[in-house]
A and B are shown apart, each in its own frame.
Chain A
Amino acid sequence: MSATLPVPNRDAKPRSKPDVAIQSSQSFLVRHSALVRLTHWLTALAFFALLVTGGEIILSHPRFYWGETGNVNMQPWLNLHLPSSRDTVPTGYGYVLPDQNGWSRYLHFEAAWLLVATGLLYVIWGLFHGHFRRNVFPARSDLSPANLGSSVLSHLRFERPGGDEAWSYNVLQRVAYLIVIFVLFPLMIWTGLAMSFAFDAAFPATVTLLGGHQTARSLHFLVTILLVLFVMVHVFMIVFAGFRTRMRAMIAGRVVPPKD
């Protein structure tokens, strides 16, 4: 059995004092709690389903408009120039893709329910359990221009993270996660609901505050792009920082303590 283990201390700043668990003779540090791991992978599953089906739904009308109305008789602000699954859309392609909107719409909304339920569980638990306070909200000192600047620089230099980052998020990570959790996902849900005619009947401000049905659809698409960019950087950083340790931390919850 190895040397000294860090002493668990919930009052201390947990970035440097992670919880410790002991199982048989092996020692490890709990990096991610079971609830974080569960909600992370449920979110990943739901996001993947939403992305695939959302992309499929776009193929039936790969054009975007501002305001309330938009159709093939109107000028889009964005035309994706993709082949379409409808022959009513002028695409410039000589063929029409098979219509897959039926199951895509069913699955899109089912995955949305999973995402919303998972997100609510995560956020409510995170607020009550101190997860955000301890692990996600950046410390005030971390937000000083000097600290932010040095973190940005080290990222720009592609410096590999030090050992301490194996059980804590750095300040840029924290800011990115906060934006994704509290800005982008809520925006996705809002713009998605705004496209529902029955939901808008009950809560008209959902769509009028955004500026119209087609604006909601355009924003839903734009925020998707931001989320896809986040996922790309997220996955890149995991590979870059150490795929095995980061995946073990998010699947089994453990990181092996560094040998001092």
Chain B
Amino acid sequence: MTEITRRKLITSGLAAAAGAAGVAFAAKLAQGHGLIPPDAGVRYGTGEALTYAAQRVLGSNANAREFSLAQISTNPFANEVDPLGDEFKRLQDGGFADWRLTVDGMAAHPTTFSLAQIKSFPSSSQITMIGCEEGWTYIAKWSGVPLWYILDRVGASPQTRYVVYRSFQHDWWESIDMADALHPQTLLATGMNGSDLPVPFGGPLRLRVPRQLGYKNIKYLTQMTLTDNPKPFGKGGTGGFASDFGYAWYAGI
């Protein structure tokens, strides 16, 4: 009886040690492959890290589902937006001719684009679903220039690992990894359902990341910064406004 117990003890001990070493090795490997999200260290961040790593390994190049014209929602919900203020009103009255998007950071040619310039770039369209973390969804046709085109144009450094982006509503900022930033469906959306993107839906310019939830699809885009580390941005060191506020940085689920 004792012998079996001892053998069991030794076996379990070895298994536990091997398990711990395995976890440490996997974590190191994941770190090396950029599979650890910036908010992995927060409470319950382990689950987030597992989800992010698993989804990146399973299909970082996969396309979000696209729908038919007939499936476009006739009654999309814009969600509420905090008051945009007088400066926004002035820009809106001018037909957003003075709207600017600055792209800086790890770029060979940091550039400030006008809305007209952005609209003149090769445009792409997709009929995709947007969903809120609350659970509701709608389908729309989004059009605009793919983000990879802009990154190419500003000469993004190969060391770039994240794109940090900011809204006209200055508190709102987020970051995405290069798997999403270079993804063909990630757009600087200027159009929705065949016309200019309406203001309640984020017009004149919204980042459309169809494989992530609405809160990563920031409205009223004004600035993008290419970086290898999003943690120094913002106050919480988690790579985004939502994650500083207690929401997961990765919103693919």
Contact = CB atoms under 8 A, between A and B. Distances in A.
Interface string A193-215: 00111111111100110000110
B111 interface: no
A246 interface: no
Interface string B129-165: 1011111111100000000000000000000000000
Interface size class of A (residues with CB under 8 A): 35 or more
Interface in B47-81: 47-48, 50-51, 55, 58-59, 62-65, 67, 71, 73, 75-77, 79-80
B191 to A, nearest CB: 20
B43 interface: yes
Interface stretch (B26-34, B94-102, B207-215): B207-215
Interface residues of B, number: 46
B253 A74 contact: no
B253 A196 contact: yes
Given A71-B75, A101-B134, A198-B59, A110 B44 contact: yes
A106 B136 contact: no
B42 A69 contact: no
A70 B213 CA distance: 15
B64 A200 contact: yes
A69 B65 contact: no
Nearest to A110: B47
B248 interface: yes
Interface string A46-90: 000000000001101101000011111110000000000011100
A102 interface: yes
Given A69-B139, A73-B77, A202-B62, A106 B248 contact: yes
Nearest to A201: B62
Contacts, number: 132
Contacts of A254: none
B133 A70 contact: no
B58 A202 contact: yes
B246 to A, nearest CB: 3
B65 A200 contact: yes
A219 interface: no
Contacts of A202: 55, 58-59, 62
A109 interface: yes
A68 B137 contact: yes
A217 B247 CA distance: 20
B245 interface: yes
A197 B64 contact: yes
Interface in A98-122: 101-103, 105-107, 109-113
Contacts of B247: 101-102, 105
A115 B120 CA distance: 50
Contacts of B212: 197-198
Contacts of B135: 57-58, 60-61, 217
B156 to A, nearest CB: 23
B45 interface: yes
Given A69-B138, A101-B134, A112-B47, A197 B75 contact: no
Contacts of A109: 44, 47-48, 51, 248, 253
Contacts of A112: 47
A204 B129 CA distance: 13
Contact of B45 (A87, A106, A199, A203): A106
Given A71-B138, A72-B136, A109-B51, A201 B245 contact: no
A54 B50 CA distance: 19
Q: Which 7 A-B pairs have the closest CB atoms?
A: A110-B47, A202-B59, A198-B252, A102-B246, A106-B44, A71-B77, A73-B75
6 contacts: A61-B132, A68-B67, A110-B50, A111-B47, A197-B211, A202-B62
Given A74-B75, A213-B131, 16 more contacts: A69-B129, A69-B137, A71-B136, A88-B79, A102-B245, A105-B247, A109-B48, A110-B50, A113-B50, A198-B59, A198-B211, A201-B65, A203-B59, A213-B129, A214-B137, A217-B135
Interface of B: 1, 42-48, 50-51, 55, 58-59, 62-65, 67, 71, 73, 75-77, 79-80, 129, 131-139, 210-213, 242, 245-248, 252-253
